[in-house]
Amino acid sequence: MNSQDLAKYIEKTNSISKPWLLIQLRIQKLKERRAELSPEEYTKKLADIHQDLMNLGEWWVGIEDEVFGVK
């Protein structure tokens, strides 16, 4: 799935408030631009995304059913 398809999915499913999907979108966009970036710039951008992911922490603990639709 390319970044445009993923963005459409996020919009269609009203998932803009799901941070893990936004992280996936950023990763996909970065993958698509990899050839345009220097290795250093790519690594820095990937590290930034990784840090944002780590900053999410375990925000879902206790609300797994609500967030992930687990039954």
56 CB contacts (<8 Å, ≥6 apart)?
Answer: 19, 20, 23
The confidence score (pLDDT) of residue 70 equals 63
- Digit-coded pLDDT (tens) for 16-25: 988 889 999 9
The confidence score (pLDDT) of residue 71 equals 55
- Digit-coded pLDDT (tens) for 34-43: 999 999 999 9
Among residues 41, 14, 46, which one has the least CA distance to residue 29?
46
Domain boundaries, the chain: 3-57
Low-confidence ranges of the chain (pLDDT < 70): 70-71
